[in-house]
Structure 1
């Protein structure tokens, strides 16, 4: 027996205890704590600058090798337009535009020229053929301000158009108007997500720990990790050329906070176990780090490697996300294996009040809920895993109704902002493609042939005369007859490409907003085909190294893929029949896949490393029950935390974020409550020691002791591992 926490230096401990002195020793814990507090003070002001360092320019999102990207670059170089987007102000009076309306629109047009960031001549007012509407086109270049500068300009325009004649409706629409509404949706995203995530985590931790104090330590540690991660990412974005946009910054916050809290839960659970076996808290933490550390490191490595696989993407926005998220996860796990242990040993047992783990007391998980679940599964494991697999497969059938592809602007918001109302008004009175032309560049000598091919394409009207630009190229625009964000418009772009590419020696290339969306969709499809297998291979290798087996990693990968398919299928049904969403973006399956495979495998790692540990002493079947009983509660809490933090993405008024948050949250819950607890446990029990093939553990025969009670109501004691 060691001396009590409050007494002097305890006697020498075993060699395994020596694995933790760097972070939880009697003196080193204070050094670690001071280091992280100093780092927090330094990192906090840097993390606040991350929003300003974001690159939300068009080029930061586009696939680098796409045709539309090349056109965009030529357009910028030739006309020095930067990120110019047109704002289209539409004035509508259903019973006919009056002279006063025309005077109002003309006066507004003159005022628009003085709005900040307006970068060219204001066109209009132009009357509609039906006489019920007017439009004014205002070119806006936000410059370095990005989306938020567009919002400022659109706000000024809204101030100008306000207060018109009675009965005249006016809206700021077009690409600039829609982009400004997206900017409003993302404004304050970091604060919204952080407070929502913290609220969810605090509630779950209060329920899990039933302590009014303990939750503060993991939340503070996760907040410190997030602050440090944001500061490092800011420095990389500012000085190392790493691309960070609004989407990446939002997911970074959710991922780091959620994953860090998960790692904290696992370590705290093992620490609480060891406090019942070791009287000295420093020794208990050393053992907890020794036992839980490998699983936590392997889990974070899996997530980081999964994120790094995104660097194989063609989409710039997806490729830039990879290193940013990997850095965040690695900083998070570093904090959870250093700052968190230091805080826990500094505070001592009292922090668990009122359920303080007493030295020598019985581990409650030995006769808890998950122990009973395990014994129930053990009676008919094959029936359980086959039935569970069929149920998950039935959920996956929802994939048949998953609508991926073009999401129109009107379907991209949870609500209906003014720009979308304006888009509808434009579509009623003007050619649908007004303000978002198809752009063609080609070699000057072939300009007439290219223009003719362009103009003859079905779906195109009003092709402009070729304008010479640099390097012997010409530039021309054509108006789409279909709405620029519709599938019909993308079909027209493909037809234009077929037509102008057929002109000999023209080297024609097609761009514009619709072409950009089409190229992004094609790149997202390619990225899914490349990255999904890459993630599976990387995760499989990590699992083989961790478990020193081939069969177990193969089975775990299969269960997570099945869980992903079920989550996606169930999400599809919810999106369509409950929430009324029009569909999902082409890149949606890839993001959900990477997050669910990388994060979902975490829970299997937590479970299987414990099963592997116990199987060495008790055999695989008995080890499976001990592992489930010991890890069931903490993994359930961890799953609820991660699902909750991703679910807060649904608080944003943007459909794409809500869909990712809902799908990942559903997938994590499936992994936590069904795949890990039921399916994997049943497979462990049915396959037995052969699950560890070809390692030496697969050659050991199962102990003769019974795995389950003879009677369903009997509760056999789960043996405590020998220390």
Structure 2
């Protein structure tokens, strides 16, 4: 089979090369990108039985199904109270944000308890779970609107919150992926230059893997329609695995071709024979890796379940490229692949690795024992390893959302600036006995497990009277469910004093 494949790729070399080029262009321009199907939060991969997932489902009535929130925060940098100029600039920034097309509403949350900061809640018509360019584009529009405002010296203004953080995470993930690709390619090229001591060989060995990577990303994106889950970790690992494994497969073929040329074979015959001899080894090596990756689908965590199939798809494409595109490229470039060390006809020479292999074959038992001791010892270390999992990817401390979060942490109580929500399912409506909200807060605080608890009756550092809140609820009940109320009070509506 591999002999026939070798003859076919050599005979139709140009058609094979053009076919892969067309496939890469089609995948990059027509099919969805892998970045468009990423899930930005690791919590989205948790099993439905996880406590946090169940709590999120319980909180659904409190959340909008069509919008996400961002927080505008402004604070003085010299620890002084906000001045009238500061307040005016913040108000103008809020007005600018209200004019952004996707902004559905903006609520000024007032000053912080220490008077040094002020924040506003921005409701945007987009869901962070959608990810992709929609989120980053929406946040970019918000930040552009903020940048149009002239702020006094000594006033720091940032956009943070779930929506802004999601956009910064996506931008950071894209940067990391690009950096990974560039560094991986540079490392492999340098390594291949040392290995081949030739100029074209490293490029030819790496090119099929790069083309395969361009094709594999959109193919993985398509596989999400049959249940494969893609995290922001998938593109990074896909890059490393495909460039590494693909180049490894290419080395087998190129080294075998060099040996055949030294035996006096023509380039066409050498490529066909080389593929015939190493094609089976390359294929079964790839199948072994795919089988190992497929085993990951039994993992409980959805992130790992998706990694296995996604990387297996990458290996399939890399294997196909190295069994077809690489032989075609070698047939086109021929002996120039190895310039300036072009192979000459002569006896086969055995280098250092050949001498090492001869000694290993001569002492198989000793080699086996040494390998078991060495690798068994390294494996034994894993017995002391306890996996603890990981959370969502944090954003850089220099990002806009991180700086905004730092301002919130510095000027607002920690339970308000970076909270963990606790939900209660009550036996009766809270509006029949509003005091239960205060008791729930006191009960949580009484456990001693929390440094600070902000209950439903506390808003932005201000405590609301339970009876007044119940009266406000009764007044607005005629307008429909609370989740459908606008962010601002309707014209002419009056609220009870808290």
* TM-score where L is the length of structure 1: 0.53
The structural deviation recorded for 1:210 is 1.5
Is the aligned partner of 1:422 residue 2:401?
Answer: no
Q: 1:159 aligns with which of 141, 147, 152?
A: 147
Alignment of 1:363-512 (within 5 A): 363=349, 366-368=350-352, 371=355, 375=359, 388=374, 392=378, 404=388, 412-413=394-395, 416-435=398-417, 436-440=419-423, 442=425, 445=428, 451=437, 452-453=439-440, 455-458=442-445, 459=450, 461-464=453-456
Residue equivalent to 2:483: none
397 and 368 in structure 1: CA distance in 2 versus 1, 3 angstrom threshold: same
Q: 1:80 aligns with which of 55, 64, 67?
A: 64
Residue equivalent to 2:115: 131
The structural deviation recorded for 1:321 is 2.7
Aligned 8 A contact 1:142 1:149 in 2 = no
Residue equivalent to 1:115: 100
Structure 1 residue runs of 5 or longer lacking an equivalent are: 1-17, 466-476, 481-723
Residue equivalent to 2:223: 236
Aligned 8 A contact 1:44 1:227 in 2 = yes
Partners of 1:399 and 1:374 lie apart in 2 by 37
CA root-mean-square deviation: 4.0
Secondary structure in 1 aligned to 2:425?
strand
Of the two structures, which has the highest relative contact order with CA contacts closer than 8 Å and spacing of 6 or more? 2
Partners of 2:45 and 2:203 lie apart in 1 by 38
Residue by residue over 1:351-403, the C-alpha shift from the partner in whole angstroms, topping out at 9 and shown as x without a partner, is: 2222223344323xx23256359759989869965885698589x59977x99
115 and 178 in structure 1: CA distance in 2 versus 1, 3 angstrom threshold: same
Alignment of 1:511-526 (within 5 A): none
Is the aligned partner of 1:324 residue 2:310?
Answer: yes
Aligned 8 A contact 1:105 1:125 in 2 = no
The structural deviation recorded for 1:54 is 4.1
Residue equivalent to 1:310: 296
Partners of 1:377 and 1:83 lie apart in 2 by 67
Aligned 8 A contact 1:217 1:344 in 2 = yes
Residue equivalent to 1:217: 204
The structural deviation recorded for 1:273 is 2.6
Partners of 2:345 and 2:212 lie apart in 1 by 31
Partners of 2:328 and 2:30 lie apart in 1 by 25
* TM-score where L is the length of structure 2: 0.74
Residue by residue over 1:447-467, the C-alpha shift from the partner in whole angstroms, topping out at 9 and shown as x without a partner, is: 5798544551132523227xx
Equivalent residues, number: 443
Aligned 8 A contact 1:270 1:288 in 2 = yes
Residue equivalent to 2:251: 265
99 and 40 in structure 1: CA distance in 2 versus 1, 3 angstrom threshold: closer
Secondary structure in 1 aligned to 2:111?
strand
Residue by residue over 1:272-313, the C-alpha shift from the partner in whole angstroms, topping out at 9 and shown as x without a partner, is: 233334624444334433432333223212322233233233
Residue equivalent to 2:496: none
Aligned 8 A contact 2:111 2:119 in 1 = yes
Residue by residue over 1:10-55, the C-alpha shift from the partner in whole angstroms, topping out at 9 and shown as x without a partner, is: xxxxxxxx74122334535455445434433433323574434445
Aligned 8 A contact 1:109 1:125 in 2 = no
Secondary structure in 1 aligned to 2:260?
helix
454 and 297 in structure 1: CA distance in 2 versus 1, 3 angstrom threshold: farther
Residue equivalent to 1:586: none
Structure 2 residue runs of 5 or longer lacking an equivalent are: 462-498
Structure 1 segments of 4+ aligned residues over 6 angstroms from their partners: 376-380, 397-400, 406-409, 477-480
Residue by residue over 1:381-433, the C-alpha shift from the partner in whole angstroms, topping out at 9 and shown as x without a partner, is: 69965885698589x59977x99566698xx4565334333333322221113
Aligned 8 A contact 2:72 2:120 in 1 = yes
198 and 296 in structure 1: CA distance in 2 versus 1, 3 angstrom threshold: same
Residue equivalent to 2:486: none
Partners of 1:382 and 1:302 lie apart in 2 by 21
Partners of 1:246 and 1:397 lie apart in 2 by 26
Is the aligned partner of 1:207 residue 2:225?
Answer: no
Residue equivalent to 2:82: 97
